[in-house]
Structure 1
Amino acid sequence: MKKLLFIFCFLICANAFSQILSSSVEKKTIALGEVNHIVITINNLKNEKVSAAPENELLPFHFEEVKDSISQNPDIYYRRIEFAVFEEGKFTIPELEFKVGEKVLKTIPYEIDVINTAQKTDQIKDIMNNKNVKLEATDYWELYKFYILAVIAAIALIISIVMFVKYGRKSKDSPVVATNQTLKELDSLKKKKYVESGNYRSFYVELIDISRNFIAKQYRLPADVLLTDDLIDLMKKNNTISQENERVVEDVFLRGDLVKFAKTFPDQQTMEKDFADIRDFVKRSSKDLEFENLRKDV
């Protein structure tokens, strides 16, 4: 009898001075997505630290934790976890471990039965009837502005490409560019002062080279490869260059050939006149091209 009394007193004292873990689940059967909860309580902590899985990570995979709240004071640890399951079937909440100081406490496992309460005959009703909303121009703009801007950008790009191809690409050998370039070359020749120094041979060599290149670019004639007589004959047959300009080219080119072969020695006045005539010919060339274009149109 004394032994039984001793054992009974020992158990009472052990329970009085040890931590007690308790747990409970609200429902063992729940519907899909229904919120359930489990509560874990540890009493008689005596300022011992409780270690467990962090918030929202205590329950296993299938249990979607909605809310995990923890409170603790020197004697009691309280944890309430709200959860839901979104699959049908039976799922188990296993033993959950809580470490109090150096001691490990475990809850009992729970089996949760998840059922689908929806029936095929159930009618789904809208909370509210659909409403017709009248859209303003600004609403349509907000809806479709990116498509509209993309179309506008594509059209602008196409127009830009067409304009560039048709008007924007000014060829380097276009009439205006060829004329301006040749006039610059003639100005450079004049600055060399061949006329003033009496260097007639260098003057005519460069003057005729400039003129030949100009005729080749402006009139599309092979002036840079033909002999003078052949070029003059081609100009007269081609009828692209006016008679006035033909005479200038013929006179200057023939005189230049004579100078190159030392068969004539022009004076300064003649050289200046030939330079001025070639310069005027270059400036007048645009009229030849205008007349040629009109003739082609006719």
Structure 2
Amino acid sequence: MKKLLFILSFLICANAFSQILSSNLEKKTLALGEVNSIIVTINNLHNEKVLAAPKNELLPFHFEEIKDSIAQNPDIYYRKIEFSVYEEGKFTIPELEFKVGGQVLKTIPYEIEVLNTAQKADQINDIMNNKEVKLEAKDYWELYKFYVLAALAVIALIIAIVMYMKWGRKSKSSPAVATNQTLKELDSLKKKKYIEEGNYRSFYVELIDISRKFITKQYHLPADVLLTDDLIDLMKKNNTISQENEKVIADVFLRGDLVKFAKTFPDKDSMEKDFADVRDFVKRSSKDLEFENLRKDA
């Protein structure tokens, strides 16, 4: 008798402190797309954490989960999953696992039959007859306004590109821009103090290189590829550069060639003068271009 009481007491205590899982399926037969639900409840948690598949991932792939609601307090875990099935046939919801502490609890499996309730002989009627609707200009605008706006945007983009190609690029290579850029390069050369240090070779190499690039850009003459004699001859035939500027270029370039081949050794005064002459030539170049434009207009 004592043994029986002990066993009963043990079973009652074990049941009181163990978790109890229950599950309930709302319907076992469904129409295609009909909403069904399964509810899982776990009691006697005693603050234990419940681990299970994440939301919308508990059921097999045949079941389209619509809503997965989870609620939990220190003693109860509640989960309701609403789902639909879009294929005919019989499908099984397998045992669903829930881990509570070190214990794994499982639901019972459920079998669901899904039926297509539409019959081939069923006649489908419209709720009401088709009605012809007259569209006005406003209606057409609402229908096609995005296409019209897109077309206008493309046209505007094309016009902007054409304008940039025609005028934008020219402004960047305008005489004033070329002049300012070259004056900055000459200032950078001055800061290198080649004149003060007597480094005449480096000075003339860079001075002539800057000048050649400027003539090429400002006067559109191939100064960057021609030899000095050929460039001087072309300038005289071209008549774009004034005689005063031609003389500066000829004197500086010829002296630079002599320095390059170590045939002359200029002093600081000569180097200062050549630098100043080239700088003045760059500043005066706009007058050459103004005169050339007037000559063309005439």
- Compute the TM-score of the two structures, normalised by the length of structure 1: 0.51
Give the superposition deviation at 1:58: 7.1
* Matching of residues 65-144 of structure 1 within 5 Å: 85=123, 141-144=141-144
- Output the CA distance in 1 between the equivalents of 2:118 and 2:139: 48
User: Runs of 5+ in structure 2 lacking a partner?
Assistant: 1-26, 33-114
**1:61 corresponds to which residue?**
119
Give the superposition deviation at 1:235: 0.9
What amino acid does structure 2 have at the position aligned with 1:240? T
User: Runs of 5+ in structure 1 lacking a partner?
Assistant: 1-50, 65-84, 88-125
Shift of the 193–60 alpha-carbon distance from structure 1 to 2, 3 Å rule, reads closer
Give the superposition deviation at 1:224: 3.0
What amino acid does structure 2 have at the position aligned with 1:291? F
- Output the CA distance in 2 between the equivalents of 1:222 and 1:240: 13
Do 2:240 and 2:288's aligned partners in 1 also have CA atoms closer than 8 Å?
yes
What amino acid does structure 1 have at the position aligned with 2:218? Q
- Output the CA distance in 1 between the equivalents of 2:287 and 2:207: 22
SS of residue in 1 equivalent to 2:30: coil
What amino acid does structure 2 have at the position aligned with 1:62? K
Shift of the 209–155 alpha-carbon distance from structure 1 to 2, 3 Å rule, reads closer
Partner deviation per Cα, 1:128-148 (whole Å, 9 max, x = no partner): 9x8989x5x765643442243
**1:110 corresponds to which residue?**
none
What amino acid does structure 1 have at the position aligned with 2:235? M
Shift of the 248–144 alpha-carbon distance from structure 1 to 2, 3 Å rule, reads same
What amino acid does structure 1 have at the position aligned with 2:159? I
Shift of the 86–173 alpha-carbon distance from structure 1 to 2, 3 Å rule, reads closer
Do 2:232 and 2:246's aligned partners in 1 also have CA atoms closer than 8 Å?
yes
SS of residue in 1 equivalent to 2:276: helix
**1:265 corresponds to which residue?**
265
Partner deviation per Cα, 1:159-195 (whole Å, 9 max, x = no partner): 1222122123358765445434332322221111011
Shift of the 266–146 alpha-carbon distance from structure 1 to 2, 3 Å rule, reads same
- Output the CA distance in 2 between the equivalents of 1:178 and 1:288: 14
Partner deviation per Cα, 1:213-237 (whole Å, 9 max, x = no partner): 3222322323233332332222111
Give the superposition deviation at 1:249: 0.8
Do 2:31 and 2:117's aligned partners in 1 also have CA atoms closer than 8 Å?
no
Shift of the 63–131 alpha-carbon distance from structure 1 to 2, 3 Å rule, reads closer
2:246 is the counterpart of 1:246: yes
RMSD: 3.6
Higher Cα radius of gyration: 1
- Output the CA distance in 1 between the equivalents of 2:30 and 2:249: 101
Give the superposition deviation at 1:239: 0.3
- Output the CA distance in 2 between the equivalents of 1:247 and 1:178: 21
Do 2:216 and 2:224's aligned partners in 1 also have CA atoms closer than 8 Å?
yes
**2:222 corresponds to which residue?**
222
How many residue pairs align between the two structures? 187
Give the superposition deviation at 1:242: 1.3
2:177 is the counterpart of 1:201: no
- Output the CA distance in 2 between the equivalents of 1:144 and 1:203: 67
- Compute the TM-score of the two structures, normalised by the length of structure 2: 0.51
SS of residue in 2 equivalent to 1:54: strand
What amino acid does structure 2 have at the position aligned with 1:181? Q
Among the aligned pairs, what percent are the same residue?
74
